């Protein structure tokens, strides 16, 4: 694995609540075409495809990767579907990375799409991850799970609902500069605080949208990139970590299991940082695209990434340290709070980080960004993936 692995092509569709102009495979194909246009390659150049698809029920087709084979031109090629829930996108990029790093391939495409906004009841789909006997009757779901996390963080570190509202305001402001974002309208803290409760303390404006759209990325070996004169940014660190299944087993007063803190995400970042040679992320990272589907989860993601001490991120947010133009901009694209097509949400985190260090992020560009980080969370905060990307 002495050869570096580069990102050479990125494609994102415009994310909306509904994409009735395109069926599911057409959404995937749209993103793939944009990624190929980005680097000048075609289907004949692709040696393998890693397909990013979380629960099939979101797109209304069982085993929808079967349709994906044609959409991504994978006939007679290596083809692998990945599903780790919300972290599927970053897991797919990692699988593509290891295809190239192993020497098996020089050029690998990873792609996917989702139609969450067109699903009849996405919460019913997502809530099937819980144990039907022990957890589901409580009732336990994706929203109540992270509401409990918010309450624990409040108790432990003093976070307020106003702090949560500031996260939404920041991310909506960032998304207003990103043409691919789903929710691009800015909002005020008062609007967030006055939105209806979903599960205290999480309100409607503290929650991510249900988005439809696609994303694709093309990775290649450094040798191939040099031989073909291609432009690239480099994946220098990859980390993953998983938690145990039962959510209740993670709640205690021990440092390892406290639901206020993202222990497994911290471990995942530590592994990516070790590979990338990062020892002080607070001073060595220029930009962060962190998977945070609810406003409160951005705080423990920031802290797990080592960009703030435990409990310190709300105060740093109040100081503007995570804004565009701040010390370390977090989610300059608007993040998951503004765009959430689940199958590719975590891939978009990687794509947006790559665009930042490439200097191609447009109006939401972080000035001078040369090194960025991305993360993804899946299941009931069970699967975590992280990456470091450098120019």
- Give the pLDDT score at 62: 85
Assign 228 a pLDDT band (cuts: 50, 70, 90).
very high
Q: What is 5-120+210-227's CATH topology? A: Peroxisomal Thiolase; Chain A, domain 1 (3.40.47)
Radius of gyration of the chain (CA): 19
One-letter-per-residue 3-state SS of 358-375 = HCCCHHHCCCCCCEEEEE
Average pLDDT of span 133-152: 87
- Give the pLDDT score at 255: 52
- Give the pLDDT score at 251: 54
Q: Is residue 252 predicted with pLDDT exceeding 80?
A: no
Give the Cα separation of 368 and 357 in Å (integer). Answer: 8
- Give the pLDDT score at 253: 55
Assign 319 a pLDDT band (cuts: 50, 70, 90).
very high
Average pLDDT of span 62-85: 94
Predicted model pTM: 0.96
Q: Number of C-alpha atoms within 13 angstroms, CB side, residue 279?
A: 0
Please say whether the beta carbons of 73 and 187 come within 8 A. no
Please say whether the beta carbons of 298 and 167 come within 8 A. yes
Assign 254 a pLDDT band (cuts: 50, 70, 90).
low
Question: Pairing state of beta strands 5-12 and 212-221?
Answer: antiparallel
Average pLDDT of span 83-89: 96
Query: pLDDT, tens digit, for every residue of 354-363?
Result: 999 999 999 9
- Give the pLDDT score at 132: 86
Please say whether the beta carbons of 255 and 304 come within 8 A. no
One-letter-per-residue 3-state SS of 252-297 = CCCCCCCCCCCHHHHHHHHHHHHHHCCCCHHHHCCEEECCCCECCH
Q: Is residue 258 predicted with pLDDT exceeding 80?
A: no
Q: Is residue 1 predicted with pLDDT exceeding 80?
A: no
- Give the pLDDT score at 189: 99
- Give the pLDDT score at 270: 98
Rounded mean pLDDT of the chain?
A: 94
Please say whether the beta carbons of 236 and 275 come within 8 A. yes
Show the CA angle centred on residue 99, arms to residues 94 and 101, nearest 5°: 85
Percent of the chain whose predicted confidence (pLDDT) is above 90: 83
Percent of the chain whose predicted confidence (pLDDT) is above 70: 98
Q: Number of C-alpha atoms within 13 angstroms, CB side, residue 133?
A: 0
Q: Is residue 309 predicted with pLDDT exceeding 90?
A: yes
Task: Compute φ and ψ for 27, nearest 5 degrees.
Answer: -65, -40
Please say whether the beta carbons of 260 and 370 come within 8 A. no
Please say whether the beta carbons of 201 and 151 come within 8 A. yes
More confident call, 125 vs 160: 160
User: Which string of DSSP letters, residue by residue, matches 68-104?
Assistant: HHHHTT-TTSEEEEE--GGGHHHHHHHHHHHHHHTTS
Crossing angle of helices 88-101 and 342-358, in 10° steps, is: 60
Query: pLDDT, tens digit, for every residue of 33-63?
Result: 999 999 999 999 999 999 999 988 888 888 8
Task: Compute φ and ψ for 323, nearest 5 degrees.
Answer: -80, 160
Give the Cα separation of 217 and 348 in Å (integer). Answer: 9
Task: Please name every residue paired with 199 in a beta bridge, in sequence order, or none if there are none.
Answer: 202
Q: Is residue 204 predicted with pLDDT exceeding 80?
A: yes
| Edge-to-edge order in the sheet of strand 287-289 | 78-82, 48-52, 107-115, 212-221, 5-12, 233-242, 383-390, 371-378, 287-289
Q: Is residue 323 predicted with pLDDT exceeding 70?
A: yes
């Amino acid at each position: 694995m002495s050869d570096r692995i580069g990102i050479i092509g990125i494609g994102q569709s415009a994310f909306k609540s509904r994409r009735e102009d395109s069926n599911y495979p057409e959404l995937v194909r749209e993103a793939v075409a944009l990624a190929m246009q980005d680097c000048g390659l075609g289907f004949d150049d692709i040696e393998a495809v890693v397909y990013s698809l979380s629960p099939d029920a979101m797109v209304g087709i069982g085993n929808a990767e079967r349709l994906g084979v044609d959409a991504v031109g994978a006939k007679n090629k290596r083809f692998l579907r990945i599903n780790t829930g919300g972290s599927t996108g970053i897991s797919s990029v990692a699988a593509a990375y290891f295809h190239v790093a192993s020497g098996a391939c020089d050029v690998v495409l990873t792609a996917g799409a989702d139609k969450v906004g067109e699903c009849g009841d996405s919460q019913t789909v997502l809530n099937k991850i819980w144990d039907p006997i022990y957890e589901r009757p409580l009732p336990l779901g994706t929203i109540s799970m992270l509401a409990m996390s918010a309450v624990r963080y409040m108790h432990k570190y003093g976070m307020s609902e106003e702090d949560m509202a500031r996260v939404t305001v920041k991310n909506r402001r960032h998304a207003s500069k990103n043409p691919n974002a789903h929710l691009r309208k800015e909002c005020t803290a008062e609007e967030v605080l006055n939105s209806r409760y979903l599960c205290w303390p999480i309100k409607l404006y503290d929650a991510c949208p249900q988005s439809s759209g696609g994303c694709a990325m093309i990775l290649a070996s450094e040798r191939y990139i040099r031989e073909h004169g291609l432009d690239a940014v480099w994946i220098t660190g990859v980390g993953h970590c998983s938690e145990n299944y039962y959510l209740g087993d993670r709640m205690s007063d021990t440092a390892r299991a406290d639901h206020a803190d993202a222990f497994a995400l911290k471990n995942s970042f530590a592994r990516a940082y070790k590979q990338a040679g990062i020892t002080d992320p607070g001073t060595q990272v220029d930009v962060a695209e962190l998977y945070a589907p609810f406003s409160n989860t951005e705080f423990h993601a920031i802290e797990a990434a080592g960009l703030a001490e435990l409990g310190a991120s709300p105060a740093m947010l109040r100081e503007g340290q995570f804004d565009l133009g701040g010390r370390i901009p977090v989610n300059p694209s608007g993040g998951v709070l503004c765009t959430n097509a689940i199958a590719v949400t975590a891939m978009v985190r990687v794509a947006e980080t790559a665009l930042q260090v490439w200097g191609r992020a447009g109006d939401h560009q972080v000035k001078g960004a040369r090194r960025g980080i991305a993360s993804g969370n899946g299941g009931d905060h069970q699967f975590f993936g992280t990456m470091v990307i450098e120019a």
